[in-house]
Structure 1
């Protein structure tokens, strides 16, 4: 396996510190720590600060999570509160407990 193949690159688009944005980031961090510990990078992009960045990933709703790596690229819209939907959407196999 390639060294970088294990690293998950996730990008969360938000618009300010709204309740949904804060919840989405907290949920994302929790899932990553539980299922991808030490193998992920989260980039948070605030579209109030950098609105031009929405175009690159064709962001139409906020918050939106974009999985860049590993491919295929996937998008999940919302506060990420449904863990099962997020894990399936990102193609993360739940960690064995």
Structure 2
């Protein structure tokens, strides 16, 4: 749906990636960070908000691991009228 919607608006899709496995690990790392910095997190917001955030991170990491949720990144580009995109044949994405 996302790719079709982008194409309908004149974007050429140049790259699409599913970050599911990455976000399972990312959410787990964020949960550990939250736990390690619990007092600061509560001071920044409140205990209820910190607990909800922790629950969200734990649930999301499990959901990503079980493939119940996914996160996709889609890179699109408006192509010039003459068809020139100036997109590299082998992009390195800044690495």
More contact order relative to length (CA 8 Å, sep ≥ 6): 2
TM-score normalised by the chain length of structure 1 = 0.25
TM-score normalised by the chain length of structure 2 = 0.25
Greater helix share, structure number:
2
